[in-house]
Amino acid sequence: MKKINLIPLLLLSIFSFSKLFSQEHKVVFSKKIFIAEDLSGTIKLYDNGVPTFTPFDKVVITEYFDSIKSKYMLDTMKIFNECWSTSKLYPYKGIDLSTMKDSIYLSLDSNDFYCSPSDYCYSPFGPRRGRQHKGIDTDLDIGDTLRTMFSGKVRYTNYVKGFGNLVIIRHLNGLETYYAHLDKILVVPNQSLSAGEVIGLGGETGNALGPHLHFEVRYKDNAFNPEKIIDVKNQKLKLTELILTSKDFEWKKQWRERKYHKVKSGDTLSHISKKYNTSTKTILKLNKNLSINSILQIGQKIRVR
Ligand SMILES: [Zn+2]
């Protein structure tokens, strides 16, 4: 019986089949995709509607994701190190975010979060006694342990008029948290901290009517409402993706604009200060020609802001 070598025949048939395939079905779409470390490769679609997916080599995938991570780390470190100062209270040279056109995206990590022991906010962010209250006041007794809300690095510690003993911590995303009126500061500038580490003891130093924590969150020196990110009552982080727009800093515009009141019959300084949510003291400061005993003239213009 004659032996037939099947191998060349097999090779020939594979060759002609693939030739046939490539002739009949052209690639109409081809795209390299990087979705995740276990899902990256080339997608091809042939004109007969058949899609194929060929994964990349592991080395290519690792290189790609490493480059993304290092770029992200570089961006992060740039934001984190920008205008770093342990001697200046506000180091960002007057950046005003109320006029910005773009949005700022910041990520927050709920695993890197510690909520202060207090679940009670008794003075919110907003106008108060003719000024902007740039943070929230929460319950904290003299000597109570105070911990940092996120991990980060201590940027500034000092006694500051109004704030009293103040600790400012900068976090990796560029946000800064302010802790004011402390009895004692237990950290030093440039100290690295994990979320929940002790930073000081509660107190009533500075402009505080009784012991409490005055807490602020700022981005590039611009304060916004801490309750945008923290649910004080439930001691939770409200979101993990924070978007800041000029709206969050609109309060700055409001306080920049001067405002006048035209005196009407029966007006007193006390009435006027209540009407504009300010104090007679502030009005007297803004109007050097007035004193507490001045008689107001109808039609007189008084600056209230
Ligand atoms: Zn306060």
**pLDDT tens digits, one per residue of 142-169:** 999 999 999 999 999 999 999 999 999 9
Of all residues in the chain, the percent with pLDDT exceeding 70 is: 92
What's the mean pLDDT when you consider all of the chain? Answer: 89
Q: Which pTM value belongs to this model?
A: 0.70
What domains are there in the chain, each with its CATH number? 25-81 (no CATH), 97-254 (2.70.70.10), 258-303 (3.10.350.10)
The alpha carbon of 181 and the centre of ligand 1 are apart by a number of angstroms equal to: 9
Query: How do residues 204-232 score in pLDDT, each as one tens digit?
Result: 999 999 999 999 999 999 999 999 999 99
Strands (E), 220-258: 222-224, 230-231, 236-237, 241-244
The alpha carbon of 232 and the centre of ligand 1 are apart by a number of angstroms equal to: 15
Q: Does residue 194 contact residue 212 with C-beta atoms inside 8 Å?
A: no
pLDDT value, residue 1:
47
The alpha carbon of 253 and the centre of ligand 1 are apart by a number of angstroms equal to: 20
The alpha carbon of 98 and the centre of ligand 1 are apart by a number of angstroms equal to: 21
User: Residue 247 carries which DSSP code?
Assistant: G
The alpha carbon of 26 and the centre of ligand 1 are apart by a number of angstroms equal to: 69
Q: In the chain, what is the straight-line distance between the N-terminal and C-terminal CA atoms, in Å?
A: 112
Q: Does residue 42 contact residue 53 with C-beta atoms inside 8 Å?
A: yes
The alpha carbon of 277 and the centre of ligand 1 are apart by a number of angstroms equal to: 17
pLDDT value, residue 304:
86
The alpha carbon of 135 and the centre of ligand 1 are apart by a number of angstroms equal to: 6
